[in-house]
Amino acid sequence: IHLPALAGTILTYLLVFARTGAIVMLLPALGDGGIPSRVRLVLALAITVAMTPTVEHFYPAAAPANALQLGLLIAQEVTAGMLIGGMSRLIMSSLQVAGYLIATQTGLAYAQTIDPTQHEQGAVVGNFFALMGAVLIFSTDLHHVAIGAIAGSYHMIPPGAALPTGDMAELTIRLVSASFVLGFQLAAPFLVFGFA
C-alpha cells in the first residue's frame, strides 16, 4: 500500500470495509460457519460499496502521515466492528443456553450432534434453537435491521473518536448476563416440570 496514494475515497472504502467486514463476520445468521466465507466477503464488499457515500463525511479526507497511523485507523475500525457484531452474537447465545437447559432437563443432553452453523458439538435442542433463530432472522427480515445497525454504528462509535472501553466492558457484562437470563426464562417451563 502506497500511503501517498491512499487518500480520499480509497481510504474511506478501506476503512468502511474494515468495520463492515468485522461486523458481518460476527453477525448471527449472516456470520455463521454454515455460510461460505466468500459469500460473507462479497456481502461485506457490497454493503461497503452501498454505504460508503453515506458515511464518508465521518472519515478524514487526508492520508495518514505514516503506516502506524493507518494501522491504528484500521485497528480502531475493526475493534468497533467486532464490538457491534459481538454484541448481537451474545444476544443470540441465549438460544443455546435455553436449548442446553431444556436438553439437560429432558435427558437429551447426552445426545450430542454437530451444529452445522458453528461446526462444533452441542445438545440437540440447542442446535435446533440456533437453527430456528437463524430461520426467524431471515423470515422476519431482521437481517435488514442488522444491516441498518452497521450504518447506525457510525453514530454510536464515530471514526477517529476514542473507543468507550469502560462502556464496552459494562455493556458486554450486561449482555452476557441478560442472554443467560433470557435463556433461563425460555427454559423455565421445562425446569419447573423437571423439578416437579
CA–CA gap between residue 161 and residue 109 (Å, rounded): 46
Beta-carbon contacts of residue 182 (< 8 Å; ≥ 6 apart): 94, 97, 98
The share of the chain scoring above pLDDT 90, in percent, equals 7
Looking at the predicted structure, is the pLDDT value of residue 139 above 90? no
Cell of 79: 475493534
Helices (DSSP H) in the chain: which residue ranges? 9-26, 37-55, 67-106, 124-139, 142-156, 165-195
**Is the CB of residue 48 less than 8 Å from the CB of residue 12?**
no
Chain segment 102-134, per-residue pLDDT in tens: 777 776 656 555 555 555 555 667 777 777 887
What secondary structure letter does DSSP report for 42?
H
Q: Return the half-sphere exposure (C-beta side, CA atoms, 13 A cut-off) of residue 91.
A: 14
What local confidence, expressed as pLDDT, does residue 145 receive? 83
Mean pLDDT across 173-190: 82
CA–CA gap between residue 99 and residue 81 (Å, rounded): 28
Chain segment 44-84, per-residue pLDDT in tens: 999 999 988 888 888 776 667 777 888 888 898 898 888 88
pTM assigned to the model: 0.76
H/E element, 122: strand 120-123
**Is the CB of residue 145 less than 8 Å from the CB of residue 31?**
no
What local confidence, expressed as pLDDT, does residue 17 receive? 93
What local confidence, expressed as pLDDT, does residue 94 receive? 81
Cell of 75: 485497528
- Look at 27-41, 111-125, 163-177 and tell me which has the smallest mean pLDDT: 111-125
Cell of 24: 458481518
